[in-house]
A = this chain, B = another copy of it.
């Protein structure tokens, strides 16, 4: 398992249908990757989020890596804009 260091989280992009269920839809710039994601790991230094949280994040941020065939994104907390409650 990957544990992020510093003020970072690891997130996994949500597919369109998952976003619709939460009532939140991103603008229809169709070619861009979605900006909603689920938190899959949090650093010990991060208190505001927990695994499973759904978040909106800034475009063009983070480092993409592949874990067991899943593409995930390691992001700075400052790149996470909001959480779905």
Contacts and interface: CB of A to CB of B under 8 A. Distances in A.
A14 interface: no
Nearest to A54: B2
A84 B71 CA distance: 16
Contact count band on A? 35 or more
Contacts of A23: 67-68
Nearest to A49: B5
B27 A65 contact: yes
Given A3-B84, A6-B78, A56-B74, 15 more contacts: A1-B85, A2-B24, A2-B56, A3-B82, A3-B83, A5-B49, A5-B81, A8-B82, A23-B68, A24-B67, A25-B67, A27-B65, A56-B63, A59-B63, A63-B81
